[in-house]
Amino acid sequence: MQEVIRAVSVVLNFNSSHELCELLPQLEAQRGVPHAVIVVDNASRSEEVSRAKEIFSQTWPYGLVGSTAEITASIKHAVTPSRAYLVLHEHNGGYSAGNNVGIRLAEELGAAAVLIANPDMRLEDPNYVAQLYETLVGERSNLIAASRIVGLNGLDQSPLRELSYWEELLWPIFALRNKLFKPSSHVVLPPGNQPAAVRKVSGCCLMLRLDFLRGNGYLDEGVFLYCEEPILAEKVRRAGGHIVFQPHLLAVHAHRKSIKGNPSRNMLQHIKSRCYYLRHYSNYRPIARACLFVSYALLRFAHLIRLRFF
């Protein structure tokens, strides 16, 4: 009898095919829970798409490759669904929009949970997905589950705290303080070694209940990139649920800043997304929000000058 797929890993690829050769075999090796993998190529360059197809086919020779419509039709009409799909998405609508393509296909497969994993994640534990799934479904109020995540430098990257109002408003003062003294950490590890509810986790690797996503409009496509984590945290809070952190599970984020892109361009995108979050999800009063918008306008102006003259 065909096992019902319980968890689906969604990997969004955008010109990152060099990362897939490590992550995809690790996802194929996952055991302990009926599991499928959906790789969504978010309109990468043609040579990157070709490389992604090659790596995908090496890992899953019988996996399915096609457009969103073709993969959707295949899932709906298949007697025995495939366990691996490469979706060639037609346009890049951003991080949330691309992942939503995979999330909706995971729904078609009948999954209860979806793991969002960036291509540069490393999941060496073959029971990683199964254990994170068990953590997520352990309590009905658990809407998101996440593990420890460390960078290549060995430092923890999750769970995270939110910026205070004064940190956002008075960013020049806090930026100067961070240059002169030890920067304040955004990572807040809960005490003890047991699973614990936390405020926010990194978006590079986390598992979500599909019924929570369905009931709350999926990932918010109003942001192209950045600020997905606080948006999700606020959606969980409004739903009366929890984000649970599992300290016994470990994933490595093999991210290299040197290939991320122009810092000022990235910051301009971050400011745009942060203002979207403040407008639609923050609980600040209108006057407090207006002050933050002025502060971010000054920060945006500073980075526009930097792009223009430096």
State pLDDT tens for residues 100-132.
Answer: 999 999 999 999 999 999 999 999 999 999 999
Residues 209 and 302 in one domain: no
Is 1 within the bounds of a domain? Answer: no
Give the pLDDT of residue 299: 94
Count of structural domains within the chain = 2
Evaluate whether 49 touches 75 at the Cβ level (below 8 Å).
Answer: no
Do 177 and 303 share a domain, yes or no? no
Is the separation of the CB atoms in 11 and 37 below 8 Å?
yes
CA distance 97 to 128: 25
Q: Are residues 221 and 284 in the same domain?
A: no
Using a pLDDT cut of 70, give the percent of the chain over it: 98
Quick check: is 2 in a domain? no
User: What residue has token string 């040197």?
Assistant: 258
Alpha-carbon dihedral angle through residues 161, 165, 168, 170, given to the nearest 10 degrees: -130
Instruction: Give the Cα separation of 34 and 16 in Å (integer).
Output: 27
Q: Residue 72 sits in which domain range? A: 7-163+170-256
pLDDT at 94 over 50: yes
The answer to whether residues 244 and 285 belong to one domain is no
Q: Which of 270, 307, 290, 254 is nearest to 16 (CA)?
A: 254
281 with 229: CB under 8 angstroms? Answer: no
Residue 97 included in any domain: yes
User: Would you tell me how many other CB atoms lie within 10 Å of the CB of residue 33?
Assistant: 19
Q: How confident is the model at residue 1 (pLDDT cuts 50, 70, 90)?
A: very low
Sign of the alpha-carbon dihedral angle for 18, 22, 23, 25: positive
Instruction: Inform me whether the pLDDT recorded for 96 exceeds 80.
Output: yes
Kindly state whether residue 287 falls inside one of the protein's structural domains. Answer: yes
Quote the Cα angle for 266-267-268, to 5°.
90
Average confidence (pLDDT) over 1-22? 91
pLDDT tens for residues 53-74? 999 999 999 999 999 999 999 9
Range name among 75-89, 98-112, 246-260 with the lowest pLDDT average: 246-260
At residue 256, does pLDDT exceed 90?
no
Q: Which of 256, 281, 299 is the last residue of a domain?
A: 256
What is the arithmetic mean of pLDDT over 11-15? 97
Question: What's the pLDDT at 12?
Answer: 98
Query: What is the per-residue pLDDT for 310?
Result: 78
Q: Quick check: is 278 in a domain?
A: yes
On whether both 296 and 230 belong to a single domain, the answer is no
| Strand 242-253 with 142-151, pairing | parallel
Output the pLDDT for position 184: 81
pLDDT tens, 28-46? 999 999 999 999 999 999 9
Q: What is the pLDDT of residue 308?
A: 86
pLDDT band at 79 (very low <50, low <70, confident <90, very high): confident
Tens digit of each residue's pLDDT (9 = 90 or more) over 183-237: 888 999 999 899 999 999 999 999 999 999 999 999 999 999 999 999 999 999 9
Q: What is the mean pLDDT of residues 9-37?
A: 97
Q: Is 152 found in the same domain as 284?
A: no
CB 199 within 8 A of CB 144: no
R_g of the chain, CA atoms, integer Å: 20
Q: Are residues 244 and 184 in the same domain?
A: yes
The token duo for 164 is 């205070």
Is the domain of 203 the same as that of 296? no
Q: Are residues 267 and 293 in the same domain?
A: yes
The answer to whether the pTM exceeds 0.85 is yes
Please say if the pLDDT value at position 2 is more than 80.
no
Give Cβ neighbours of residue 122 (< 8 Å, ≥ 6 apart).
22, 23, 26, 251, 252, 253, 254
Q: Where does a domain end: 223, 239, 256?
A: 256
Tell me if 84 sits within 8 A of 28, measured CB to CB.
Answer: yes
How many CA within 13 A on the CB side of residue 234?
Answer: 16
**Closest Cα to residue 26, out of 254, 270, 280?**
254
For residues 201 and 279, state if they share a domain: no
Look at residue 261 in the predicted model and tell me its pLDDT: 65
214, 237, 256 — which closes off a domain? 256
Which residues lie closer than 8 Å to 105 by C-beta, 6 or more apart?
Answer: 8, 38, 68, 71, 72, 75, 85, 87
**Cβ proximity of 156 and 150 under 8 Å:** yes
Average pLDDT, the chain: 94
Note whether 220 and 287 are same-domain residues.
no
Strand, coil or helix: 42: strand
% of the chain exceeding 90 in pLDDT? 86
Question: Which residue has tokens 């799934």?
Answer: 133
Residues 85 and 219 in one domain: yes
Tell me what pLDDT residue 130 has. 98
67: its two tokens:
């457009």
Please tell me whether residue 146 adopts helix, strand or coil conformation.
Answer: strand
- DSSP H/E element including 252: strand 242-253
Q: Is the pLDDT of residue 178 over 90?
A: no
Q: Residue 298 CB: number of other CB atoms within 10 A?
A: 10
- pLDDT of 258 reads 52
Judged by DSSP in three states, 242 sits in strand
CATH number (domain holding residue 106): 3.90.550.10
